[in-house]
Amino acid sequence: MTRLAAEHITVRRGGRAIVSDVSFEAAGGGFVALVGANGAGKSTLLSVLAGLIKPDAGAATLDGTLIARMGRRELARRRAYLPQNPRAEWPIAVERLVALGLTPHLPVFGGLPGGLEPRLTEALAACDLAEQRQQAATTLSGGELGRAMLARALIGDPQVLIVDEPTAGLDPRHTLDSMQRLRALADRGKLVVAALHDVTLAARYSTHLMALKEGRLETFGPTAQALTPDLLRRIFDVEARITGAAGATLVDYVAPDAGASTGRSA
Amino acid sequence: MTSGSRMPGYIVTALAFAALVAAAIGSLFLGRVNISPAELWQGLLSPNANLAGLVVTELRLPRAILAILVGASLGLSGAVLQGLLRNPLAEPGLLGVSNGAAVGAVISIYFGLSHAFGLATPLLGLAGALAAGALTFAFGRSSTLTLILAGAAVSSLMSAFLAMALNFAPSPYAAYEMSVWMLGSLAERSWDHIFLAAPFIAAGLAILSLMGRAVDALALGDVQAQSLGIHIDRTRILALLGVGLAVGAATSVTGSVSFIGLVAPHLVRPFVGHQPSRILLPSALLGATLLLLADIGTRVIHTNTELRLGVLTSLLGAPFFFWLIVRLRRLAP
Amino acid sequence: MALRRLAVGLSLAALVGGTGPAARAAERPPQRIMSLNVCTDLILLQLAPKDRIASVTFLAPDGAKALFPGLADGIALNHGSAEDIVRARPDLILDSALGSPLTPTMARRVGARVVAVKNADNFDDIRQILRQVGAAVGEPARAEALIGRMDAALADLAAHPPARRLRVVAWSGGSAVPGKGSLTDAIITAAGAVNIAARPGAAESSFGVEELLVARPDALLFGGASLGQPSLLTDEGQHRVVRRLYAGRRIAYNDVAHTCGLPQSADAARDLRRALDALPERRAAR
């Protein structure tokens, strides 16, 4: 089973610690939601876990191997990374964009080897993009682009998927669709680590919760136990109410001056 | 708007190659001196040395081959740089490499080094190109934007050196010759020039042709490309090295020829789509064809003083810029 | 003075310059003569004694070295700038007709006369110029002597025409070839040869290797780096076809005598004749 571990990861920028002494261990089959206020260090931590940034102290390991020492292509084959608001810089066709996910598997020259064509078709179908195959990526809607990028990430069949804000800018339908796909991935045995700004989504879909406050790890554990109003108060500085049974949880924030409740209750 | 390939890649390549061959053949038959094709053909076949054969083998053939090498260098460099920087305005001049080559070559001429040993001018041109590229990389390596800015800065610096060379020219004739050289020309180039420049051009082209995978991945942005296993720094170094070698050697032999590197990829995209790796080879072929046609133009357009290659490409290339803007305005409301 | 400046029509300038100062020169010849152009330098150096020459351009020593070594030694050099004019305090300034428009203004300031000398395109022009400068500097007799010597050399050449009128072109790379109406053309004609670049039209034009091969001149002339500096022209002239076909048939000439109209231009014609006479027979036609 895949294991992603962080040991005392610290990242400093301009004298300040963006990420400070973060340690945790996650295994395949889990969907880890990373939550925290703006500037808490979520994106930086994800970059370190993806092997894109070297930490100033500590290390991340994948199945026991130091990520920083791993060969680039090998790392690229085993984990996929999606930044916030991924964009295509040229109006290339959707199928070519998705095929880019196979880069670490391809030789220096040549187009897609014939043997990989079925995989491309499969990946497109799995993300409901079969119809948009030839369409220019720059003309896709937000939801379609999100799915295309996800297909790009998954076509290489990585063990780990690291995503930064997968639902940014998506409407409710596509948001739920995206979250369902991620959870389904985890259920199939992959490890998914996603930074989320919406804690309700985290509550409903993730298996584990990781919370950062000013670069430090506030909690890491199974969602049901880790998610408490106290945690939310610590990391967001707001009062929160968690209602609803598992799978239909709702996280409700209370405005500081309101006193009385403003939201709906379950 | 679909932008998948309009035609299968091999058809586009075949067409581009055919156009290139046609232009090359045209280049052999056209020149400032009218020799009929029949005469030329007979001259080639005849075992004795004769005027027509000499004109073809010693003048027009090396000129055509050099045009192909230089045009391919410019076209391929433009395509790679546009893919690397994700900027449709990128071309070899953008990173200061062309001007660096010009400075190196002008230094060689100015100090008479080319008399000391024959390889001086191409080697110094190369040195200038690589030095400029290294300077651009050193200052601009942190991001794409800084790379473009550093390239502009280095280009200005090299221009300043060129202006200085003109300023301190030892005689008015030297100044005139330097400025005329900088206008770019393929006239009176011989096999000597090919032997000097070809190895470096070939090396540069070889490096650039390996960059398909990297520029494709960069279509997703620096971060995603990196996550796909692309070494961003190494990619930039290789691009600068390849462009420096190819364009550096080319410029040191012909002077500054602009716009081919910018225009060729743009003309190729409507046929091949926007995927960066697919425009590399067609851009090289089209760049070679464009330069051949421009060179034919300088010989066929009758002027008293030689019409310089760089002047013709600029006169044709600048309007292309305007057309690009108009097209952009139409597409992006 | 301003009128003269406007007359880029060179003959007008020479005409006015020729008649005006004649009377004045009779009184007392100019004592501090300054020349702002290398061609007028070289004429001045041959006409006036050193103690009356205030300054010549920095290009003069090189030109003098080729023609009459030592004649420029010890004379102050100028770069044609306004400061130089002020420093030299000349009473006569010799300049090219196409010289800087600032010169008359500066001349007025220091109280000097300006004589504008046109570019010589043929031997008639050279005679005219020598007389003009001779009168201006107060050495008309010397000017006539130089003209006499030049004419004698030309007459000698004309009296002994060569067995065959060889076809030549002054070619060193193709971009600027002296054609009809240039001084080089006149020198070639005086030497008894034919300038194949003498087409009607521009006095200078492009003449590429292809045209060269088709025209098949008997010899190529090329200006040596007489001003001392290397240049691209000498580099480009080395196209390997040209090297091969014209090995031993390339004749060097002294740039200075071809660019500036000097009495030595006749010597250049004589040198050319000697070189042409010494050419080996052409190999069988291809």
Q: Are residues C138 and C206 in the same domain?
A: no
Instruction: Judge whether B207 and B247 are in contact, CB under 8 Å.
Output: no
Nearest to C33 by CA among C144, C109, C107: C107
pLDDT of C18: 45
Residue C257 has pLDDT above 90, yes or no: no
Which two three-digit tokens encode residue C166?
């060889």
Same domain, C129 and C216: no
pLDDT exceeds cutoff 70 at B5: no
Chain-chain contact of B55 with C234 (C-beta, under 8 angstroms) = no
Touching, C vs A (3+ Cβ pairs under 8 A): no
Q: Give the tokens for residue A145.
A: 């682009």
CATH of the domain at C61: 3.40.50.1980
Assign 3-state DSSP to chain B and report helix, strand, coil percentages, each to 5: 80, 0, 20
Helix C140-159 to helix C38-47 angle (10° resolution) is 100
Q: Which residues of B touch C231 (CB under 8 A)?
A: 109, 171, 173-174, 177
Per-residue confidence at C205, pLDDT binned at 50, 70, 90? Answer: low
The structural domains of chain A, with segments of one domain joined by +, span 3-254
Is residue C285 a part of any domain in this protein? no
In the A/B pair of chains, how many CB contacts fall below 8 A?
Answer: 91
Is the pLDDT confidence value at C27 over 80?
no
Q: Is the pLDDT of residue C269 over 50?
A: yes
Chosen domain end from C126, C152, C178:
C152
Same domain, C177 and C264: yes
pLDDT greater than 60 at residue C235: no
Task: Check pLDDT > 50 for residue C63.
Answer: yes
The pLDDT assigned to B118 comes to 63
Residues C131 and C11 in one domain: yes
Q: Which of B101-110, B130-139, C32-41 has the lowest mean pLDDT?
A: B101-110
Q: Could you tell me if C18 and C120 lie in one domain? A: yes
pLDDT tens-digit series, residues C85-99? 888 899 999 998 887
Q: Is B250 within 8 Å of chain A by CB? A: no
| Residue C5 confidence (pLDDT) above 70 | no
Report yes or no on C91 lying in a domain: yes
Average pLDDT score over chain B: 87
Whether residue C236 has pLDDT greater than 50 = no
Question: Best interface-test mutation with A: which of B228, B231, B281 has the largest number of A CBs within 10 A?
Answer: B228
Asked if A161 and A190 touch (Cβ cutoff 8 Å), the reply is yes
Residue C35 included in any domain? yes
Cα radius of gyration rounded to whole Å, chain C: 20
Among C88, C118, C152, the domain-final residue is C152
Class of domain A3-254: alpha beta
Question: Of C152, C187, C203, which marks where a domain is finished?
Answer: C152
What separation, in Å, do the N-terminal and C-terminal C-alpha atoms of chain A show? Answer: 37
Rounded average pLDDT over B99-109: 87
Mean pLDDT of B93-98: 87
- B219·A134 Cβ contact <8 A: no
* Least confident stretch, A116-130, A178-192, B164-178: B164-178
Residues 6+ apart with CB under 8 A from A242: A203, A227, A228, A229, A232, A249, A250, A251, A252
% of chain A at pLDDT higher than 90: 74
Give the pLDDT band (50/70/90) at residue B3. very low
Is C31 contained in some domain? yes
Residue C68 within a domain = yes
pLDDT value, residue C286: 40
Give the one of C208, C228, C230 whose C-beta lies nearest to B115's C-beta.
C230
pLDDT given for residue A57 in this prediction: 94
Tell me, yes or no, if B13 comes closer than 8 A to chain A by beta carbon: no
Residue A193: pLDDT over 90? yes
Residue in A190, A192, A146, A196 with CA at minimum distance from that of residue A171: A146
The mean pLDDT of A207-214, rounded to a whole number, is 94
> Do C123 and C221 belong to one domain?
no
B70-87: pLDDT as tens digits: 999 999 999 999 999 998
- Which residues on chain A are in Cβ contact (under 8 Å) with B231? 72
Q: So what's the ipTM on this one? A: 0.89
Domain that holds residue C32: 2-152
* 8-state DSSP, A193: E
Beta carbons within 8 Å of B153's beta carbon, 6+ residues apart: B96, B136, B139
Residue A48: the pLDDT is: 96
Residue C66's pLDDT band (boundaries 50, 70, 90)?
confident
| Residues of chain C positioned with their CB less than 8 A from the CB of B48 | 286
Same domain? For C146 and C197 the reply is: no
Instruction: Write down the mean pLDDT value for chain A.
Output: 90
Q: Which residues of B touch A51 (CB under 8 A)?
A: 227
Task: For chain A, list the strands marked E by DSSP.
Answer: 3-13, 16-27, 31-36, 57-62, 65-66, 79-82, 160-164, 191-195, 208-213, 216-222, 239-243, 250-254
Q: Do residue A90 and residue B86 have CB atoms under 8 angstroms apart? A: yes
Q: Are residues C92 and C41 in the same domain?
A: yes
Which region among A89-98, A133-142, A150-159, B104-113 has the lowest average model confidence (pLDDT)?
Answer: B104-113
The DSSP secondary structure of C94-133, one letter per residue, reads: EEETTS-THHHHHHHHHT-EEEEEPPP-SHHHHHHHHHHH
Query: Which letter does DSSP use for residue A105 in this model?
Result: G
Identify the pLDDT of residue C278.
Answer: 87
Residue C269 forms part of a structural domain: yes
B89: part of which helix (H) or strand (E)? none
C242 pLDDT band (50/70/90 cuts)? confident
When pLDDT is averaged across residues A240-266 and rounded to a whole number, the result is 69
- Structure confidence at residue C175 as a pLDDT band (50, 70, 90): low
Residue C53, pLDDT above cutoff 60: yes
Please give the average per-residue pLDDT across C255-283, as a whole number.
Answer: 86
Average pLDDT, chain C: 80
- What is the distance between the alpha carbons of residues A48 and A11, in angstroms, rounded to a whole number? 9
pLDDT of C226 > 50? The answer is no
Pair C31, C143 in one domain: yes
Are both C119 and C202 inside the same structural domain?
A: no
Q: Which residue of A has its CA nearest to B210?
A: A108
Residue numbers in B near C208 (CB within 8 A): 32, 187-188, 306
C121 found inside a domain: yes
Shortest CA gap B288–chain C (Å): 23
Check residue A55 and report its DSSP letter.
-
One domain for residues C74 and C189? no
* Same-domain check for residues C194 and C270: yes
Q: Distance from first CA to last CA of chain B, Å, rounded? A: 15
**Structural domains for chain B:** 9-331 (1.10.3470.10)
How many structural domains compose chain C? 2
**Concatenated DSSP letters of C194-207:** EETT--SS-SEE--
Residue A75: the pLDDT is 95
Contact partners, residue C255, CB within 8 Å, separation at least 6: C223, C224, C225, C226, C227
Could you tell me which residues come within 8 angstroms of residue A128 by beta carbon, excluding any fewer than 6 positions away?
A: A147
Cα dist from C138 to A4, A62, C91, whole Å: 102, 99, 13
From first CA to last CA, the distance across chain C in angstroms is 59
Average pLDDT, integer, range A50-56: 94
A90 CB-near residues (< 8 Å, 6+ apart): A137, A138, B86, B219, B274, B275, B276
- Does residue A91 belong to the interface with chain B, where contact is any CB pair within 8 Å? yes
Q: How many residues in total does chain B contain?
A: 333
Q: Which is more confidently placed, C38 or C177?
A: C38
Q: Which of B15, B75, B23, B34 has the alpha carbon at shortest distance from B243?
A: B75
